[in-house]
Amino acid sequence: MNHTLCIAIDGPAGAGKTTIASGVAHRLGLRYIDTGSMYRAAAWKSLELGIPLEDEDRIVEMVSRMDIRFDERGIFADGVDVTTAIRTPEVTRLSSPISAISGVRRHLVALQQKMGGEGGCVMEGRDIGSVVMPHAEVKVFLTASVEERARRRHAERLEAGVPTDIEALKKEIEERDRRDSTRADSPLVRVPDAVEIDTDGVTIEQVIDRILELCRERMRE
């Protein structure tokens, strides 16, 4: 496999992007970049500093100064390992409105484009194929029903010891979908050259295998 290959994986919350993208990266020996965790890191930092969501100027300034890095252990924000901290319900709730702030997206998209420009990566998010890596050789758009996505999030939170009402999760996911698809800056869209894969009723390995086949097809062209 070509180790300069760039693979863009987009989709709504709970569609399986993180698990599938990291699995593809592992199978191909490529870097895995979870752009959603970068917005989560910004949300975590704003909570740590006590900056209210309404104070967009301070949030944008904060993000412009942040040092966000990935390594084999996870994600680091200003030298702090936040891999676990960014998965709390509080950070999860704040990450979507934070990501809708144009100045925040401008800074983080620039960083993501720099990472993608180095080649050899699997990058996942909501605007990767459309904005961050429109040059990616392989583009995938993952989907799943709201019910299935809520079930997955419910299981994740129970495993983490966080009791959650599944009906409340459905409403949270529907609201997230609405915000992501209607925001003015880099909305969630499926670009015409992305292959859509419905993850309802299929295993993670089946989806990974399908993406690997797409990569092989692309390399044969």
- From the list 70, 87, 82, 93, the residue with the least C-alpha distance to 45 is 82
Total count of domains within the chain: 1
What pLDDT is recorded for position 215?
Answer: 95
Residue 50: which domain range?
Answer: 6-215
Note the pTM of the prediction, 2 decimals: 0.89
Q: Dihedral of CA 84/152/130/53: which sign?
A: negative
Distance from the Cα of residue 80 to its chain's centroid: 20
Residue ranges in the chain modelled with pLDDT below 70? 1-2, 221
Q: Is 48 domain-assigned?
A: yes
| E strand map for 72-144 | 74-77, 80-81, 121-125, 138-143
What pLDDT is recorded for position 122?
Answer: 97
What pLDDT is recorded for position 186?
Answer: 85
CATH number, domain at 162? Answer: 3.40.50.300
What pLDDT is recorded for position 2?
Answer: 62
Q: Is 221 domain-assigned?
A: no
pLDDT in tens, 145-155: 999 999 998 99
What pLDDT is recorded for position 184?
Answer: 82
Q: Is 1 domain-assigned?
A: no
58 HSE (CA, 13 A, CB side): 11
Q: Is 124 domain-assigned?
A: yes
Q: Is 76 domain-assigned?
A: yes
pLDDT in tens, 34-62: 999 999 999 999 999 999 999 999 999 99
The mean pLDDT of the chain is: 93
> In this structure, how many other beta carbons lie within 10 angstroms of the beta carbon of residue 21?
30
- Rounded distance between C-alpha atoms, residue 5 and residue 136, angstroms: 8
